Structure 1
Amino acid sequence: MVVIKEVASKYDLKQYIRFPFELYQHDPYWVPPLLSDEYAYYNPQKNPNFRANPYQLFLAYKDQQVAGRIMAIINQRANKFRNEKLLRWTFLDTIDDPDVASALLREVEAWGKTHGMEFAVGPRGFSDDEPQGAIVEGFDQRAQIAAHYNRPYLIQYLEQAGYGKDVDWVCYRMDVPEELPRLYQVIYKRLQKKHFACRNLKNKAELRTHIIPVLKLLNETYKDLYGFTPLVEEEFQALAEKYIPILMPRFIHIIEDRERQLIGFSITMPDVTKGLQKAKGRLFPFGFWHILKAMKTSKILQFLLVGIKEEYRKQGLFVLFANALLQEVQAARMTIAYSHLQLEENRDINTWLEHLNGVIFRRYRAFTKKL
């Protein structure tokens, strides 16, 4: 028998956070998050989304053992912005048991109905800067940073529960070339005549100066993408505090126009997932060293975010990022680049990745169901 319980105490929260560490502890492809980040995420004092929106965490028990978890969310600002009554659920992790998965889903659906929601979608967090989508293709490689991980059986259980595709994201793998493709070179020469300036950030002080303007530009450049909800000032500050310590300024590039106005940004970083696996969720005593070593020795570049102002998107400015990044990755002796999750219909970015011989190696899906 499966028993569902609301997370209502510190001990419950500890079980909720620790469950994936037990479920995936022998899985070579799972990348554990830092426990300190997990506790900060679920702390309303540190995460403004938990102060602004209804939510509920659930645990599933079978034979008196934790067998699954899930979080239900109502993003009130997003629902108002998009004029919808949407229940989101995320962090669905279960043992390989359809009864556990279906019990958790029924519980969040019932919770959503009591709040007047009409549709459910997941995995979707509060916003786009959180992990979203379940893996439906590409289970045989190590998970990426800031992304969900799941095993194939979860997809079967979602479909059995009446969920269907809402949208897909794809991830591209690219070998680092010795030089840019001919098309990129032609466009780069043309752009040099137009007084655009593309440069990386030099140090952490410059990163702190630019991170908020970049996040504000993200609001503008992502506004028409699936499910995006503009961030507010409190979220800007929370994201800046979270990412400044781990980002390397040399791998963050900005584009300015002739008036030195910010019109584009690219945020990438060395792939640190091997280091996170060795850290096993802890920074101390040795986790920090493993992550730092991975950051310095990784042969893989991980794209995180790219944004270009709408009026400049047809001018090929992605080429400026590619040219600048190529110099950095070659200097770091990197050999592979991974995109992060890209909406499959986002041709503004995907076309450029394909020109770099990018090949889709993983696919994520958000599932939806009428309540």
Structure 2
Amino acid sequence: MKPQFDHQGITIVPVKTKRQLRKFIMFPWKIYKKDPNWVPPVISEQKKFFNKKKNPYFMHSEAQLFLAYRMGQVIGRISAHTNTRHNQFHHDRTGFIGFFECINSLRGAAALFNAAELWLKEKGCDRIWGPENFSVNHNLGLLIQGFNQPPVVEMTYNPKYYIRLFEGSGFKKIQDLYAWKTNLEDKPPKKVQDVAILARTMPGLVVRKINMKDVQKEAEKIISIYNQAWDKNWGAVPLTPEESKKMVHDL
């Protein structure tokens, strides 16, 4: 794909080289360097995530990363990706965007969204969901409340002006996602306690610790439970065996 230009001099370049990938990975530091609530990603893990030989996502789906330049400086980034597993599971042709970061420029954001849209159309997609970092099993969503505190583990974080960039480019909310906090010094809610008591009376139910001497076998059980638990949730996509192994390895 050739670089694309809008009339305001913004250049969109598909990431093809290691140097471009490094710029893609490091760009968030430009956006969040003065934000005390931002939790930066681990650079080495990001490199592995985008490595087609190390991320099992690429065994079934495709992705293209883009950088936005203005006057020679990177001002934004985005990924456009297909998720074949999602479309097979939900019987649709959804394309996805993720890893979106951009300066406070509606034109810059629109140029990134346009590049992603064109790429996804070429792949046969007829609608776009996002932001979703490759899969619902990874970081997803746009923060719209709670900008005054660090994000919960595996939950998204972004500047408040991103809401304007998305809505100003025609995106609409399709689902609310929540992060919950609790004080460990407080007792669990009565409903939770009642369910726990009832569960203990179920015939054949055994509660035990994980056997760390056989992590792989235990992991298979955990992933099986994970896939079943999320089966009916919005946007759920079961993990493949390869994705399961990687998730366990990362943990």
Query: Matched residues in 1 for 2:188 and 2:105: separation?
Result: 48
Task: Write the mapping of 1:143-182 to structure 2, written as runs, cut at 5 A.
Answer: 143-182=151-190
Contact (CA 8 Å) 1:31, 1:145: kept in 2 or not?
no
* CA distances 1:161-217 after superposition (whole Å, capped 9, x unpaired): 111011110111212245344444444444333343333336x43544311221122
Identity of aligned residues (%): 29
1:199 partner amino acid = R
What is the Cα deviation at residue 230 of structure 1? 1.6
Alpha-carbon distance, 1:40 to partner: 0.4
- Partner amino acid, structure 2, of 1:126: F
Q: Which has the higher contact order (CA 8 A, sep 6+)?
A: 1
In structure 2, the residue matched to 1:198 is: 207
Aligned residue number for residue 235 of structure 1:
243
Measured on the aligned residues, the alpha-carbon RMSD in Å equals 1.8
Task: Give the AA of the match of 1:220.
Answer: Q
1:1-371 mapped onto 2 (5 Å cutoff) = 1-195=9-203, 196-201=205-210, 204-243=212-251
Structure 2 letter corresponding to 1:101 = A
Whether the 8 Å contact between 2:140 and 2:156 is mirrored in structure 1 is yes
2:102 counterpart letter in structure 1: T
**Distance in 2, Cα, partners of 1:139 & 1:182:** 31
- TM-score with structure 1 length normalisation? 0.62
Instruction: Tell me the CA shift for residue 59 of structure 1.
Output: 0.2
**Structure 1 unaligned residues grouped into runs of 5+:** 244-371
**Quick one: distance in 2 between partners of 1:185 and 1:78?**
36
Cα distance between partner residues in 2 of 1:10 and 1:177: 48
Distance 1:125 1:20 in 2: 14
Question: Post-superposition shift, 1:146?
Answer: 2.2
Q: 1:241 to 1:187 in 2, by over 3 A?
A: closer
Does structure 2 conserve the Cα–Cα contact (< 8 Å) formed by 1:42 and 1:50?
Answer: no
- 2: CA distance between counterparts of 1:217 and 1:9? 39
Alpha-carbon distance in 2 for matches of 1:178, 1:82: 40
Give the number of aligned pairs: 242
Unpaired stretches in structure 2, ≥5 consecutive residues: 1-8
Which structure is higher in strand share?
A: 1
CA distance, structure 2, for counterparts of residue 175 and residue 158 of structure 1:
34
Task: Report if the CA contact (8 A) 1:29-1:140 is conserved.
Answer: yes
Distance verdict in 2 for CA 1:220–1:181, change over 3 Å: closer
